[in-house]
Chain A
Amino acid sequence: MPPEYTQELDEVFTSVLESMAFMFADFTPKEEMPESAATPLEVIINFKGDNQGTMTLIAPEDMCIELVENILGMDPDILNEAERFDALGELVNVTCGQMLTAVLGDEPVYDLTPPVVTRVGQDQWARMLQYEHSAGFMVDEHPVLLKFSMAA
């Protein structure tokens, strides 16, 4: 990932998390990130317009619980799994939209697909960790990997 994208990804993700959920993301060198994450979930959003690309996030399932508690002030136990996963999907949805204008400005029009949230294995976490264009964050105690890729 070009250095300018890394900086914008850091600024956008940190700002969105703070605004949405009063949670704080620390950009973390990947060599300091853990080699595995507990019950990882993957969120994927595709965008299409003048350019097309993908935002991908992998984070532990426990982060959904903290997101729901912080966003809604609600006991996450009363929500079903799909609703808890939806909180993580919406975080990536807002991050992707903000990232597009941070990188490309506010003139181009993009269509975003709804976020798809799935359980993945540790092998997917390991692949994302090794991918040179992904960025690592610690969000409170939760390790998070984030990738923004775009083709002309």
Chain B
Amino acid sequence: MSFKILIVDDSPIVRAVLEKTIRLAEIEVDEFLTAANGQEALNVLDDNWVDIIFLDINMPVMNGVEMVQRMSENGTLNEIPVIVVSTEGSATRIDNLKKMGVNAYIRKPFKPEEIKSVVDEVTGVNNAT
């Protein structure tokens, strides 16, 4: 199974590192799309269907929490699995994000095996075999 993945982070270095780490995790990727904040990401989603979103929290213009909120109000977008990738370690915030519909959380710095495990979990790859 090959995925179309949207990476949302205001840091170009983090976007590049995520792409590299996803490839190192041997996840099959059809295409990477990127956005520097939540608003840019919603604009991308207006014209593209993606299979997974990797989302940062602290971003200018529109942060990750607001983007998740906006997605939850949209009957189509709220079906896309969202993996939050953030420097934050607040269990309270992670619980709140999961209640809003976020599927998984990865804390920076991350490793390829963590990315692989979470992608398998949210896409149901392991359950399909």
Contacts and interface: CB of A to CB of B under 8 A. Distances in A.
A87 B100 CA distance: 31
Interface residues of A, number: 29
A8 B39 CA distance: 36
Contacts of B13: 68, 71-72, 83, 86-87, 90
Nearest to B96: A109
Contacts of A114: 10, 58-60
Interface in A62-117: 68, 71-74, 83, 86-87, 89-90, 93-94, 96-98, 100-101, 106-114
A90 B59 CA distance: 12
Given A97-B87, A111-B58, A113-B58, A86 B17 contact: no
B108 A106 contact: no
Nearest to B15: A86
B117 to A, nearest CB: 17
Nearest to A16: B109
A127 B41 CA distance: 41
Given A72-B17, A72-B20, A97-B108, A112 B90 contact: no
A112 B58 contact: yes
Interface string A112-126: 111000000000000
Contact of B89 (A19, A20, A98): A98
Contacts of B11: 86, 89-90, 93
A109 B109 contact: no
Contacts of B87: 93-94, 96-98, 112
B121 interface: no
Contacts of A16: 109
Contacts of A93: 11, 58, 87, 108
A97 B93 contact: no
Question: What are the 7 closest A-B residue pairs judged by CB atoms, nearest first?
Answer: A97-B87, A101-B89, A19-B109, A106-B91, A20-B109, A86-B13, A109-B90
Given A16-B109, A19-B109, A20-B109, 12 more contacts: A86-B13, A87-B13, A90-B11, A93-B11, A93-B87, A93-B108, A94-B108, A97-B89, A97-B107, A107-B91, A112-B58, A112-B88
Interface of B: 10-14, 16-17, 20, 58-60, 86-93, 107-109, 111
22 contacts: A72-B20, A73-B20, A83-B13, A86-B11, A87-B13, A90-B11, A90-B13, A93-B11, A93-B58, A96-B87, A97-B89, A100-B89, A101-B89, A106-B89, A108-B90, A109-B92, A110-B88, A111-B58, A112-B58, A112-B87, A114-B10, A114-B59
